[in-house]
Chain A
């Protein structure tokens, strides 16, 4: 009798439900933006980036490319086109870029975009006044003059100086400190998109002259396709089309982003066609939705990859033969099948294939347990004898919060390595602890990693991020890889603006890094989207956010 009570309660209230409006979409996500300041505490979180990116606009960006076989539109990562900057020229003598800005661009607040906004935004980045200096970091990768580590020294001059100057209202000059071909790549990265300086200055205070608190907690004054309508943290984020957007009013008037943490609920709601778009489901859920009526699932191999990092500073991983033995022991196909139900493919180098300048290295590591055993013996550990001296090294760390995906993969690796004589233990640990040990302490001996994505989709950019030595400006070299030849080639490739001359250099970098097995690359995994079939225009972007300006609804 009692069991019927909740059912009765349900039945009694079942008939109530609202109607839906048109030209708006409901996007179900694992979280909504926690903050909107890209120099703030959540600048490195994808869900926060999605909010910021849709409300702001780059100076330059990539041209659209063709759609892939599943219907996801790609970008032409070798071809920049003007956005807020209409055109530009570079003077190699003075290392100065002259950017000609577009006329008549209006922000959500109605202010016109001018050179003052560009100068303001770079000055804000160089002030390193936010909690995480992301704007400075990206500008430093582009070698903009003065964006060096010196800004962090006590009493350092953090003013912009003459690195970025206004020529007139629609022209700015940006000076570099050295020849660096990544300049345009860095301008395409969200961390250096211009703010509406007029609106920003209205919210500056004495303690917070660069309006970090306002941007992080209230709104992003900028020139993007969408403006903020409503924002309830941990719940929903609603955007409305900017009617004055310079590329024309967006096709969808209103975007409602709703936090639905359970992937099962996102799946069920989309299946019932009460939502329009969702992401980050399990492969099983994506596969289930493929057969649902009115729902499309499409994916693309972007820059999401899975690898194992073996720390060069942790013996015996400084032994190249041992690294190779591990690479030959890995069952790549099984990992793609167990972890991603086939929505993954073997990674054939240290860089995802989508990146500009990617070339497949001649050296390849196929699954070959016999060869792995031979290499293990050559490394001085026949049948694994001698490895017991390093009990702390053979612990495979991975993010505990990602247990559902990474746990089975770690188990596959554990069993494959045991078969060739390399016993390892699994060491799941919380995300915060992994970040601390990987990014700051750089002391994880062996770690499974699926979060590294270079937002600058370019081999040279990724090399600077992960593979050069600290002396050359390594930023995220968490395996402490160090090869002077790679450092030299990187310096040369960075300064080389001529594609024909640069190609052999980047080819050689990719070959060496893969021979050295800086990482043990496991798989490229698909970035997938599930959406109502009348939603068109899904496009892959390097930071893996959906850009709502790309979308339209078909009747």
Chain B
């Protein structure tokens, strides 16, 4: 309990620090959001009028106090681009990305752990060699390149995949938004046609992500397994006459901890860098929203996106810490 409280307290401190950093950094950039707003009508008067409307004519400390006070009340403001509440926009875009990368991570994990184990049990075997070649191959190009290639092969040439036009066929009526996850919402609405269509549209982006993600995870599992299998406790387990499968499970538990750390770090990274895969498959997720906000100097949106992504990353780290503590009880001491 104390362990969790300590971790939570530390996470909150990190968030506050990050919020302040972002607040001042974006204001120090050599560009002015008002210019984009006034567009073709950039008379001095119109400029001042727009600047006032955004509250940017106030001293930066006053802006900070107002912003902190709003955020403390759960109000992240309205986007300067769309005029809609930022939290509403994040609520719309975040599930798109979370759904994509969570499914991808689960699948990548399910695929990589057995493969990593297989490679570790017979280092230098066919499976090990094939995996080595694959890892080299998958990691040799950025994921948007693989995405475009898969679209070309599976959509344009073979015609197996749907056109890369987002989460559902644009001509199909989407289900009412409940969770924001297309797979869940279509099921809740009992709309099987839309569910199948949604899964069909998830197919290529998930396949691309799994393809790219699996390489490092397999390597990590393999190396840790090799190390664990060579350890004294595995020797002892073997000497005690345990079955090979039981020995492998003992080694796996010890090999998983570092792999989980990698997974956690990857999750935060992939969430922040989702823009590439989203752009390739026309998924309006949090990555595209973040980039759009940065390019438009949409201060309220930038601040909120950074905080939300950081909070999710910190939450994932917290969960991993707990799992680690469960795998290795010495950590929570």
Contacts and interface: CB of A to CB of B under 8 A. Distances in A.
Note whether A and B form a binding pair. Answer: yes
B80 to A, nearest CB: 5
A512 to B, nearest CB: 24
B31 A10 contact: no
A260 B165 CA distance: 6
Contacts of B161: 10, 14
Contacts of B93: 234
B88 to A, nearest CB: 9
Contacts of A213: 83
B155 to A, nearest CB: 7
B178 to A, nearest CB: 15
Interface stretch (A178-186, A377-385, A430-438): A430-438
Interface stretch (A113-121, A264-272, A368-376): A264-272
A212 B111 contact: no
A463 interface: no
Interface string A224-248: 0000000011111000000000000
Contact of A2 (B80, B134, B282): B134
A265 B35 contact: no
The prevalent SS among residues of B at the interface is: helix
Contacts of A133: 41, 46, 49-50
A72 B160 CA distance: 35
A40 B36 CA distance: 11
Contacts of A264: 148
A532 to B, nearest CB: 14
Contacts of A152: 45-46, 48-49
A17 B197 contact: yes
Interface stretch (A20-28, A75-83, A388-396, A404-412): A20-28
B304 to A, nearest CB: 15
B282 A258 contact: yes
A10 B207 contact: yes
B52 to A, nearest CB: 10
Given A232-B284, A430-B295, A265 B151 contact: yes
Contacts of B50: 131-133
Contact of B154 (A10, A35, A134, A265): A10
A272 B83 CA distance: 36
Given A233-B89, A432-B35, A35 B296 contact: no
A464 to B, nearest CB: 11
B37 A132 contact: yes
A355 interface: no
B16 interface: no
A440 B56 CA distance: 15
A269 B34 contact: no
B48 A260 contact: no
Contacts of A132: 37-39, 41, 46, 50
Given A259-B282, A432-B295, A476 B42 contact: yes
B200 A269 contact: no
A14 to B, nearest CB: 3
B254 interface: no
Contacts of B296: 432
The list of the 6 closest CB pairs from A to B, nearest first, reads A44-B39, A14-B160, A152-B45, A6-B207, A436-B35, A234-B284
Interface of B: 30-43, 45-50, 53-54, 80-84, 89, 92-93, 111, 115, 127, 130-131, 134, 137-138, 148, 150-152, 154-156, 158-166, 169-172, 193, 196-197, 199-200, 203-204, 206-208, 210-211, 214, 218, 279-280, 282, 284, 288-289, 292, 295-297
Given A261-B279, A261-B282, 8 more contacts: A1-B127, A5-B211, A17-B162, A18-B169, A128-B49, A233-B82, A260-B166, A262-B279
Interface of A: 1-3, 5-7, 9-11, 13-14, 16-18, 20-21, 24, 26, 28, 34-35, 37, 40-44, 128, 130-134, 137, 149, 152-153, 212-213, 216-217, 232-236, 256, 258-262, 264-265, 268-269, 271-272, 274-275, 401, 430-433, 435-440, 465, 475-476
